[in-house]
Amino acid sequence: MQAEFAFSKFAGRLANLVELSSDDLDLLARLPRSIDHYNSRHHILQRGEASTHCHLLLQGYLCWLDSESRDGKIISIHVPGDVPDLHTIHDAYLDYNLASIGPAIVASIPHDVLRDLCGRSSALARALLLMILADVAGSRNWIVNLSSRDVLQRVAHLLCEIATRLQAVGSAMDFRIPSPFTQSDFAAACGISPIHANRTVQELDRSNILQWHAGTITIIDWNGLVRLAGFNPAYLRLPELETLAPAGTTMMHAFDEASFEARLR
């Protein structure tokens, strides 16, 4: 049931990008897929491989990381509903490693199945292309985060992005973020040392902006975090987002998840 619910989040995300017909939703519901459970720090894909499947994240977090760098730089973080390697249906060669951050549940969908899906539905083909372009926009912003913001702003911006993307799929609505992340992970994602990451988190805690305890990051002052980061979510290409989103606000339109989950059964 949890996998069905998470898969419906993916369908809902596509439906927010383009208008999907009932036939389109049936095609999505019938996609063949295998579901795997991964432990923390598992490398699902390796640099230099030629991929044959795309990986839809159902639960947990995935990241692209540069295994060749001295401290394993993280170059993107992905939340449920994401397909971080969707671009490999066009270019199967891998430049980086795809790995889990904490335990993760992932659905694998063959490339040829997705290509056939695109041939059957122009709407789904466009939606998948827009997802790829959203990832490209996210990568541009990642570069800006590392090159133009100070340490405190980098960490704040990353937290804003993760919270916003989780809210867009109906999670973290109370600004409590399930966190398998270590401060070393944040250091690797923000281009700073673990010591700097620790000091930054402590400063955010002292400022009553967030608390980081027992596998949960609680954002206490969302508006303050947004102002500190200079966060504008437009680059995420998510629907109906506001820069200062109130706690408890749903960020997706009314996609009929229950109906779609029934199709999956």
Go through the domains of the chain in sequence order and give each one's CATH number: 2-264 (2.60.120.10)
Supply φ then ψ for residue 244, to 5 degrees: -110, 85
Pick the closest to residue 145 from 179, 193, 200, 189 (CA basis): 189
Rounded distance, CA 77 to CA 189, Å?
Answer: 8
pTM above threshold 0.95: no
Is residue 45 a contact partner of residue 87, using CB atoms and an 8 Å limit?
no
pLDDT digits (tens, 9 = 90+) for 207-254: 999 999 878 999 999 999 999 999 999 999 887 554 444 443 444 445
Supply φ then ψ for residue 185, to 5 degrees: -60, -45
Please name the residue that has the structure tokens 């059964």.
265
Residue 208 backbone zone (phi > 0: left; psi -120 to 50: alpha; other: beta): left
Residue 72 backbone zone (phi > 0: left; psi -120 to 50: alpha; other: beta): left
pLDDT of residue 245: 46
pLDDT digits (tens, 9 = 90+) for 85-134: 999 999 999 999 999 999 999 999 999 999 999 999 999 999 999 999 99
